[in-house]
Structure 1
Amino acid sequence: MSEIIKEEMIDEDAIVLTIADKIATIRLNNPAARNALSTSVMASIQEMLDDLHGSKEAHVVVLEAVGPVFCSGHNLKEIIGIDREATMLELFEQCSKMMQSIVNLPKPVIAKVNGMATAAGTQLIASCDLAFASSTSTFATPGVNLGLFCSTPMVALSRNVSPKHAMEMLLGGEFADAEQAARIGLINYAVAEEDLDKTVLDYANRIASKSPLTVRTGKAAFYSQLTMPLDEAYAYTSRVMSENMQTLDAQEGISAFLEKRNPKWRGE
């Protein structure tokens, strides 16, 4: 049974964090507001990510939402009320920090999407390490339709899909269905709505069964090498693998494989 670790209620917005069986779940829980990323919601998510950073109880994080809209992006009523550029910049910097915290979290983050995601909501999904969606889910970066180009969502989007597919979404502002989102790499794949919970849980359990030290090392190395020239990437990852091989978990894992038994991870 899940234990509610933290529940944030701010301006009628609710974010819930639970941890059970090594899996942490962050749940966007304000369907009436289309799970919009208001400043208070982003602050709450940021606090939860910070808490999870050093958690020994959670090995993997699932990000999910209640209602037909996974996340509609920024709260437009809040944005339209900001009349100072400096305040507006603070809002987008807050969002950017939160998205980077997902990437930099030393635990894999899985987006479980069952509904519509737009603008920063699509950015949120693209920032996660893995994403699975129901076949009825839809995705868009429609800011261009409102005269506000999705420039910050573009950062995460363009690091997941090819430039032409990213520009198709950014310039057209139209919805992509789950099949298209999977085809272009925005999500891993789409499944029937009734299979989504099991699909995500099975994958989360699979990750949680691995050495947390090895997963943490691998995630950090993956994102670090992405922007390196080829020779630097190989030099860097060669060092990472050499250091990884010296850990007790690597030695235990290899020994367990050779001895045909399940490994006992020590996290060191």
Structure 2
Amino acid sequence: MSESIVFAPLDDGVASVTINRSATRNALSLEVMEALIDTLAEVGRRTDVRAVIVGSAGHVFSSGHDLKEIRGADLEAQQEIFDACSRLMQLIQTIPQPVIAQVQGVATAAGCQLVAACDLAVAAESARFATPGVKIGLFCSTPMVALSRAVPAKQAMRMLLTGDFVSAEDALAFGLVSDVVADDDLETGTADLARKVASASSATVAIGKAAFYEQRELPVAEAYARMSQVMAHNAVGTDAQEGIDAFLSKREPRWQHRG
């Protein structure tokens, strides 16, 4: 595994994936993105991990792409960088485990995109977010994909057109993050949320995560038709029947993590 990424199993089915490039403000270089892709793909194949926290070393979550790589690169090299970024963001939403961003400092450009792409995000109250590419002549077009699906259109466009920072509280109000905690509580607050997510049946959560991203791209009638099928198949599964029986019997469920 690359030294730029640190994988650590925690407990209760939770693992952490840490970007370990504080000297570059955890910039998403091609090497870092490819290492993240490899690590998260491996996480997706593990049955002992039911939730994963994506964080970073140091005082900055991520400053976005490594501009030193982009400066002077030819079209082929540029395409390789942005294709890797797109693969990373899509992978986050296709692995079965919920991915939770743990955000301190600033998350800018592709770093903000990474937050938006995660299923949940916990931000320290001092954290700030921006998509400032417009200020250097490089519009945040790939970050826009994740941002515009997490944040209402007018707020997304304001961030993209001005490059201004938004606070953690504003990010919470917009829907860019799911939780804001005191700076000193960031690690424990994120871990508590991850453990809560991991306490459910991993089979049920995987069904729900995949269904969420599938249905939101469908017209309403088609979404209902498809989700009716998904829920019917879920309902006859091992863990759904166990959970229903446990609820009706007033006992704790004993998950087998099987659909």
TM-score, structure 1 as length reference: 0.94
Which of 250, 257, 261 is the matching residue for 2:247? 257
Unpaired runs of at least 5, structure 1: 1-6
Name the CA distance, whole Å, in 2 between partners of 1:191 and 1:135: 6
Residue aligning to 1:36: 27
Query: Is residue 2:96 matched to residue 1:106?
Result: yes
1:211-250 alignment, distance < 5 Å: 211-250=201-240
Which of 73, 87, 94 is the matching residue for 2:64? 73
Name the CA distance, whole Å, in 2 between partners of 1:183 and 1:264: 36
The alignment yields a C-alpha RMSD, in angstroms, of: 0.9
Between 193-202 and 88-97, the greater mean CA deviation after superposition: 193-202
Residue aligning to 1:4: none
Residue aligning to 1:148: 138
Query: Is residue 2:52 matched to residue 1:61?
Result: yes
SS in 2 for 1:203: helix
Name the CA distance, whole Å, in 2 between partners of 1:99 and 1:148: 19
Residue aligning to 1:90: 80
Name the CA distance, whole Å, in 2 between partners of 1:209 and 1:112: 19
RCO higher in structure (CA 8 A, sep ≥6): 2
TM-score, structure 2 as length reference: 0.97
Name the CA distance, whole Å, in 1 between partners of 2:186 and 2:44: 26
Q: Deviations over 1:107-131 (max 9, x none)?
A: 1000010111100000000000000
Segments of 4+ moved more than 3 angstroms: none
Superposition deviation, residue 189 in structure 1:
2.6
Corresponding pairs, count:
257
Name the CA distance, whole Å, in 2 between partners of 1:184 and 1:25: 26
Q: Deviations over 1:70-98 (max 9, x none)?
A: 0001000011031x212211110111001
Name the CA distance, whole Å, in 2 between partners of 1:263 and 1:54: 25
Counterpart residue type for residue 89 of structure 1: Q
Counterpart residue type for residue 243 of structure 1: H
Unpaired runs of at least 5, structure 2: none
